[in-house]
Chains A and B, each alone.
Chain A
Amino acid sequence: MIRAQVEGQPYIDWGWIADHMDDVWTRLIEHSYLTFLAVAIGMLISFPLAIFAHRHRRSYGPIAAVTGLLYTIPSLALFAFLVPYTRLSVLTAEIGLVSYTLLILIRGVVSGLSGVPSDAREAALGMGYSRSELLWRIELPLSTPVIIAGIRIATVTTIGLVTVTALIGKGGLGFFILMGIDRNFPTASLLGSILSLGLAVLVDFLLVRVERLVTPWAHRERRATI
């Protein structure tokens, strides 16, 4: 299977791609799975933290600082650091991927909550909403567009980062990119890159659709007369 770029050979070897469609599908699914898992776990961690930060303003500084620090660790260094403890596993990959989503997701939820119009909040309290009813029925629904915007950024970022986990034996489409580099075989690198990019664009588009679907009120034409 060792191939090299040879003079006269086409830059993209369509035949090779056609022969490896099964592999492409497997890697694509693995890529999507790693991404979904990272964003989902990231959300599970971020959501309560963000609500806590929203309720206790003073805790937002430290939370933002810690997640910001995680965000700045170079991904290669992080994986290298983790491998001795968690070996070449999905766990290692996910610890890294999840860490990078936290800053974006927490910030999304917190800014969504603080963007809730204060008059809506006051009217709701005045009408007899309890604190938790206010959060679940007013504040979170109204924050949804901003929260989903955060999820979009986190997801697109994660899709890109998943390719790096190829270095520790996971990596989804990163597998092809790494293979292309190792074997000086541009077809594989290009395939991995383009599919990864395409996946990011597709998922981003789908999330925009979801956002429109769940927040119809945020997208109505303003027509103020009858």
Chain B
Amino acid sequence: MPEAMIRLEDVTKRFDSTDQSAVEGLSMEVADGETVVLVGPSGCGKTTTMKMINRLVEPTSGHIFVDGTDVLEQDAVRLRRGIGYVIQSIGLLPHRTVAQNMATVPKLEGWEGGRIEERISELVSIFDLDERMLERYPSELSGGQRQRVGVARALAADPPVMLMDEPFGAVDPIVRERLQDQFLDIQRRLQKTIVFVTHDIDEAIKIADRIAILNVGGKIEQFATPEEILRQPANDFVRKFVGVERGLKRLALMKVEEIRVEDGPVTAPGSSSKDALEELARFDFDWISVVEDGELLGWVDRSGLEKAERVSDVDPRPFSAYVTGESTLREALDSIVTSRTQVAVVATEGQRYKGILTLEKISKEIVT
């Protein structure tokens, strides 16, 4: 594992007003370029833990290192300018336009105007924002736009580390999904070290490289990849927190290309109906895929073949849906259960035939 970008060592936070520690003796490491999601019920100290990294909350004891330097030995203001920060309510400055909001940290850092402008147009293209939005005030934006501007603003000075506290919490589920997809896409390119707080386990599973499941008092119940947490929950707390549909959630993490697809009945337009019917019988199917030079043309069924001399005499019907290597197993499962034939056909984006997937094959993948 590469050198840890963020390291928490035996960190404890006690707020004056309570006897109980918000966070007690927490240690964890976040690798360079890694997205770690802190997830847990309310009161588990996930936000407190995150805020100690940029010293919005001062730890009572313990050490926190960012890029090898103890944060407590740095000037808090300087430290924060080097760490991107996004909160749930976003906190866009209402008296500044979108462009001015995005320029916040570069301006604090004393960048000159031309460099700031250049950076803003970079951000506009990274986040696929509308240029016309730049001169608007935050009150004139939709919820989804505000979230995107908030994340863009946090990235403005290109900090290596980002702290994100439920950044997609305040938008509706459809917009949230879009924002998460965009976030994943951008993170793949930028490779920031990210500490992300959420209470939504599905969001955590979707975006995390590793998930830390926290219990009350900042106790880490499990710190592992999403796949591992779903496959092997460390204890009852994790099992309960991950909730029902663990199998389905795992399927959502696995891609079709990661497993071996099965062979299905295939024929070519030039074949005789007899050969095609034999092939079809071999698989105990009542339809067969028609493939010409690797390209998937569609399918024909038994009754059609029985009336024909050659396969080409029957017009192949297009598949109403097929899955690609990029599809998740969950999508493949959906395709299986909604198809009349209980089979998902796998092809590439360019209609190159790959094989088929069946229910048995997928359930085998979950069990192993």
Contact = CB atoms under 8 A, between A and B. Distances in A.
B77 A220 contact: no
B196 interface: no
Contacts of B82: 128
B91 to A, nearest CB: 3
Interface of B: 54, 56, 77-82, 85, 87, 89-97, 104-105, 108, 130, 132-133, 136-137, 139-143, 145, 150, 153-154, 163
Given A122-B87, A217-B139, 13 more contacts: A120-B94, A123-B91, A124-B93, A125-B56, A126-B80, A127-B154, A128-B77, A218-B95, A221-B140, A222-B139, A224-B143, A226-B130, A226-B132
A128 B108 contact: yes
A138 B82 CA distance: 20
13 contacts: A121-B91, A123-B91, A126-B91, A127-B81, A128-B81, A128-B105, A138-B93, A141-B95, A142-B93, A217-B97, A217-B137, A223-B140, A225-B142
A216 to B, nearest CB: 8
Contacts of A141: 95
A119 interface: yes
A205 B139 CA distance: 26
A128 B185 CA distance: 27
Decide if the interface of chain A is mainly helix, strand, loop or mixed: helix
Given A217-B139, A224-B142, A226-B132, A129 B91 contact: no
A119 B87 contact: yes
A222 B146 CA distance: 13
Given A127-B85, A127-B105, A224-B140, A120 B92 contact: yes
A117 interface: yes
Contacts of A138: 93
Contacts of B79: 128
B128 to A, nearest CB: 12
A83 B170 CA distance: 62
A117 B130 contact: no
Contacts of A217: 94-97, 137, 139
Interface string A195-226: 00000000000000000000111101111111
Q: Quick one: which of B93, B96, B137, B150 has the most chain A CB within 10 A?
A: B93
A130 interface: yes
B91 A119 contact: yes
A118 to B, nearest CB: 8
A129 B90 contact: no
B94 to A, nearest CB: 6
Counting from the closest, the 6 A-B pairs by CB-CB distance are A123-B91, A128-B81, A126-B85, A119-B89, A128-B80, A119-B91
A122 B85 CA distance: 10
Given A126-B80, A126-B85, A220 B108 contact: no
